[in-house]
Amino acid sequence: MKKKKRMNVQKKVFYLLLILVILLGALNILKARGLFIPEQPLVYFTAKVIDLDSLTLEQKIAQMVIVAGAKENYWPWKNMQLGGIHLFARQNEHIFNNTIIDFQNEMPIPFFVTADLEGCVSPFGFIREFTAASEVNTTEQAFEKGIDEGKFLQKLGFNLNFAPVVDLDDDIWKCRTFPGDEHRIAELAEAYIVGLQAEGVIGTAKHYPGKTLVVKDPHKFVVQAEIGKNDVYPYEYLLDQGEVKAIMVSHIITSGEIVSEGVPSVASKKVVDDLRKDFDGLIITDEIHMLGLKRFYLTVDEMYVGVFKAGNDIVLNFDNNPNEIYRMIQVVKAAVERGEIPETQIDASVKRILEAKGFTVIS
């Protein structure tokens, strides 16, 4: 009798545990898919005119984030109304095109859809080959390359390309930079950007302030470089010409012509502020999950605040976990609310982003 009673208790425990495991398993799946992230309120605007005050602080910060455009994160990225998605390689044009259509569908503010199409570095290797920057010799060729890549990207639905590289040397890939000295590189980059942007795709000069593709990293974590006048020349030239609409800043700690004061350039207020003096386009961070940047901070939260506080308009965070992206937005929001990051700075960045997306911004 006692034995039977104990067996019954065991059975009850079994059913209870089984139900709890199934429930918690389901909750974990839903959480991993970002389904507990609250949906942002709808954005209302007419004739592409947006009142900045109609956006919540969360919506504004979300506009400043570009994430990896993985299909499994389709809902959380849309719910958070993020600024953009970056697409890695896919098998064919059809998949690229459908992914972009699905993401853009019913988005009040469309995503920036970004790629790293430089020529030899390309996510479209299965579809077609492009001329490497190192194989371009004349401004006509650079312009044609811009037109060709711009047409291709535009057709698929991309609107922002993280190219051209205007570093002077490339010791690693040996194909990502244009040939010649800083003057030649600047002219070729300018021609490429004009061609690319003529097709409706924004070009990004990278990686400010230079020496990204040559620095060897013996300690694996902290990368430092002495920046010369010639490294910065392509940026000065492009800013003078007024065609470049976006610049990507690297994680390198710099001295010399550009002094980042011991901080990775991307998190250096001085570097970003100095760049901003002559440039009203988009300043974009390099992807933030590099140890060179991460190891600089005690916590990831400090890093999140650091890159926003520096004055970057767009932060690239390719973390696959939607809950972490949402957490980043909350961490930055809290920093704005306690006055560590001025809201006027966030507003200025969002204004630039929305204008680059074709909106007229009022406030």
Partner 1 sequence: MMVSKRTLFIVNISLGLLLTLLLLTFFEVKLPTLGQAQYLLDKEEPLCAVSWKEEFTVWDDLDRCCLEARKQLECRREQQGDFDWACSTGAGMKYWLNSKAYNYCRQQPYW
Does 206 bind partner 1 (CB under 8 A)? Our answer is: no
Does 35 bind partner 1 (CB under 8 A)? Our answer is: no
Provide the minimum distance between the beta carbon of 21 and partner 1 in the complex, in angstroms, as a whole number: 5
Does 171 bind partner 1 (CB under 8 A)? Our answer is: yes
Provide the minimum distance between the beta carbon of 133 and partner 1 in the complex, in angstroms, as a whole number: 12
Per-residue interface string for the shown chain with partner 1, residues 211-240, x marking contact by CB under 8 A: -----xxx-x--x-----------------
Binding part of the chain for partner 1, among 39-47, 76-84, 266-274, 286-294 by CB under 8 A, reads: 286-294
Comparing CB distances to partner 1, the nearer of 197 and 260 is: 260
- Read off the tokens for 182: 């800083």
Binding part of the chain for partner 1, among 87-95, 146-154, 157-165, 191-199 by CB under 8 A, reads: 87-95
Provide the minimum distance between the beta carbon of 357 and partner 1 in the complex, in angstroms, as a whole number: 24
Give the chain as a 3 state SS string.
Answer: CHHHHHHHHHHHHHHHHHHHHHHHHHHHHHHHCCCCCCCCCCCCCECCEEEHHHCCHHHHHHHCEEEECCHHHHHHHHHHCCCEEECCCCCCHHHHHHHHHHHHCCCCCCCEEEECCCCCCCCCCCCCCCCCHHHCCCHHHHHHHHHHHHHHHHHHCCCEECCCECCCCCCCCCCCCCCCCHHHHHHHHHHHHHHHHHCCCEEEEEEECCCCCCCCCCCCCCCEEEECHHHHHHHHHHHHHCCCCEEEECCCEEEECCCCCCCCHHHCHHHHHHHHHCCCCEEEECCCCCHHHHCCCCCHHHHHHHHHHCCCCEEECCCCCHHHHHHHHHHHHHHHHCCCCCHHHHHHHHHHHHHHCCCEEEC
Q: 91-130: which residues touch partner 1 (CB under 8 A)?
A: 91, 116, 120-127, 129
Among 51, 88, 343, 358, binds partner 1 (CB under 8 A): 88
Does 90 bind partner 1 (CB under 8 A)? Our answer is: yes
Provide the minimum distance between the beta carbon of 320 and partner 1 in the complex, in angstroms, as a whole number: 6
Does 324 bind partner 1 (CB under 8 A)? Our answer is: yes
Comparing CB distances to partner 1, the nearer of 127 and 191 is: 127
Comparing CB distances to partner 1, the nearer of 91 and 344 is: 91
Does 347 bind partner 1 (CB under 8 A)? Our answer is: no
Q: What is the dihedral of CA 260, 114, 178, 182, to 10 degrees?
A: -30
Does 172 bind partner 1 (CB under 8 A)? Our answer is: yes
Does 5 bind partner 1 (CB under 8 A)? Our answer is: no
Binding part of the chain for partner 1, among 23-31, 52-60, 196-204, 269-277 by CB under 8 A, reads: 23-31
Provide the minimum distance between the beta carbon of 219 and partner 1 in the complex, in angstroms, as a whole number: 9
- Read off the tokens for 132: 């490497």
Q: Which of 147, 31, 156 is nearest to 90 (CA)?
A: 156
Chain residues binding partner 1 by CB under 8 A are 3, 6-7, 10-11, 13-14, 17-18, 20-21, 24-25, 27-28, 31, 68, 88-91, 116, 120-127, 129, 171-175, 216-218, 220, 223, 287, 289-292, 318-321, 323-324
